[in-house]
């Protein structure tokens, strides 16, 4: 018999696999966390690894509380252990880019989101923030706002969805979306802890809800302007992983975690500009949709870290998705590539929703692609170099 850490879910009599570290005494840990730290500050540096979706982190001590990004020193790490370099030339640079309060160690400690540069000071292959920031600076006069709806699935450490029967499936989809009750909402403790942690950190989280598949949830980040969208979503993801670590479970951003007749997980992206938000803005929205329709394949490649392969499992034309091979748009149509909310159609201004990005997308890559096509009027299969 394989030994594993687990706990008994009394309501179902199920042995659920949880991490061994989650069983360590949190009361004992708290005794140490309450010790004074003097003038010193712990700064946890966070970055995206070579997979384009995994996050890494490590901590250093600062002599005083940083007041801005400029107060944070550059750092480095071994890229050969993060799929980002060869062992013979492995040092990579961490460039502090965004700073947040640390909800785990609390004030005055910080979370520091970093860009990754290679040994030659050029951006690492999965550092999409670098070009995204450049593109956002070109259109800052149009004040592009984004809101991203991050879906995810809570799993046990053995990959089984949280709360699902060990041999079989829960009841079919229907009662779980925005559900309440122990037989409908699986893992709300994780959701509540994550929400409060994001608020403490200063992340622009604006809502959360249970999703269609049991053990699947969503949180929304925004509205954020320009590069802030990617910064806030990546830090929200990091906080979720850390919260799940404490509970001994796993947050999965896989776009189709369970095959078959179950909803996948996306990251619907809402977009507006100053012109779209003003009276008559619907005409600008329609222009953007027309441009997006001519560049569908380019966007599909940008919308998941495997160039569309992950999303192909999700975008089937079923389970509230469009077909990955076809572009479509419509008012209040959740089966379209682009949805115009009904209220926007009535008010003739507002925003549109791109429903194609996968749950494991890089928000920098998604928002950059949208700006390139919609505001810079790029065409063709490749991005323009500026």
Question: Rounded to whole angstroms, what are the CA distances from 250 to 17, 37, 359?
Answer: 10, 31, 15
Which pTM was predicted?
0.95
Q: Which residue has tokens 């944070």? A: 72
Residue 7 scores a pLDDT above 80: no
Residue 5 scores a pLDDT above 80: no
pLDDT digits (tens, 9 = 90+) for 315-354: 999 998 999 999 999 998 888 999 999 999 999 999 999 9
Relative to beta strand 329-331, strand 267-272 is: unpaired
The per-residue pLDDT for 90 is 85
Say whether 291 sits in a helix, a strand or coil: helix
Please give the average per-residue pLDDT across 41-46, as a whole number.
98
Of 100, 101, 82, the closest CA to residue 91 belongs to 82
The larger pLDDT score, comparing residue 57 to residue 85, is at: 57
Please give the average per-residue pLDDT across 88-111, as a whole number.
95
Share of the chain above pLDDT 70, in %: 96
Long-range contacts of 70-73 (CB under 8 A, 24+ apart): 72/43, 72/96, 72/99, 72/110, 72/112
pLDDT digits (tens, 9 = 90+) for 127-168: 999 999 999 999 999 999 999 999 999 999 999 999 999 888
Model confidence band, residue 14 (pLDDT cutoffs 50, 70, 90): low
pLDDT digits (tens, 9 = 90+) for 346-384: 999 999 999 999 999 999 999 999 999 999 999 999 999
The per-residue pLDDT for 257 is 95
Question: Rounded to whole angstroms, what are the CA distances from 328 to 296, 299, 339, 343, 374?
Answer: 10, 13, 9, 19, 16
Question: Which ranges in the chain are annotated with CATH 3.30.590.10?
Answer: 136-374
**Is the CATH code 3.90.1150.10 the one for domain 136-374?**
no
Q: Are 354 and 292 in contact (CB under 8 A)?
A: yes
The per-residue pLDDT for 1 is 34
Q: What is the CATH number assigned to the segment(s) 36-126? A: 3.10.20.70
Residue 2 scores a pLDDT above 90: no
Question: Which ranges in the chain are annotated with CATH 3.10.20.70?
Answer: 36-126
Average model confidence (pLDDT) across the chain: 94
């Amino acid at each position: 018999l394989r030994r594993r850490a687990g706990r008994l879910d009394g309501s179902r009599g199920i042995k659920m696999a949880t991490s061994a570290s989650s069983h360590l005494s949190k009361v004992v840990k708290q005794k140490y966390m309450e010790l004074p730290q003097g003038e010193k500050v712990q700064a946890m540096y966070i970055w995206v690894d070579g997979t384009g979706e995994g996050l890494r982190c490590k901590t250093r001590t600062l002599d005083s509380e940083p007041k801005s990004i400029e107060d944070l020193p550059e750092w480095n790490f071994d890229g050969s252990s993060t799929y980002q370099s060869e062992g013979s030339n492995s040092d990579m640079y961490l460039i502090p880019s965004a700073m947040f309060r640390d909800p785990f160690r609390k004030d005055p400690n910080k979370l520091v989101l970093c860009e990754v540069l290679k040994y030659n000071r050029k951006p690492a292959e999965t550092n999409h923030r670098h070009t995204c920031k450049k593109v956002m600076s070109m259109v800052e006069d149009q004040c592009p706002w984004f809101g991203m709806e991050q879906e995810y699935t809570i799993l046990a450490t053995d990959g089984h969805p949280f709360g699902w029967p060990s041999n079989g499936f829960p009841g079919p989809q229907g009662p779980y979306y925005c559900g309440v009750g122990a037989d409908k909402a699986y893992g709300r403790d994780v959701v509540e802890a994550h929400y409060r942690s994001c608020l403490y950190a200063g992340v622009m989280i604006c809502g959360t809800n249970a999703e269609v598949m049991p053990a699947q949830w969503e949180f929304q980040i925004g509205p954020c302007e320009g590069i802030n969208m990617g910064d806030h979503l990546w830090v929200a993801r990091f906080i979720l992983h850390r919260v799940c670590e404490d509970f001994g479970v796993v947050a999965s951003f896989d776009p189709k975690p369970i095959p078959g007749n179950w909803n996948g997980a996306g990251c619907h992206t809402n977009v507006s500009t100053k012109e779209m938000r003003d009276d008559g803005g619907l005409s600008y929205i329609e222009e953007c949709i027309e441009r997006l329709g001519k560049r569908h394949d380019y966007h599909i490649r940008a919308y998941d870290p495997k160039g569309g392969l992950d999303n192909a499992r999700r975008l089937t034309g079923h389970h509230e998705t469009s077909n990955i091979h076809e572009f479509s748009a419509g008012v209040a149509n959740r089966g379209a590539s682009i949805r115009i909310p009904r209220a926007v159609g009535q008010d003739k201004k507002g925003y549109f929703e791109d429903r194609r990005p996968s749950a494991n997308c890089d928000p920098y890559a998604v928002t950059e692609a949208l700006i390139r096509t919609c505001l810079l009027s790029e065409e063709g299969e490749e991005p323009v170099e500026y």
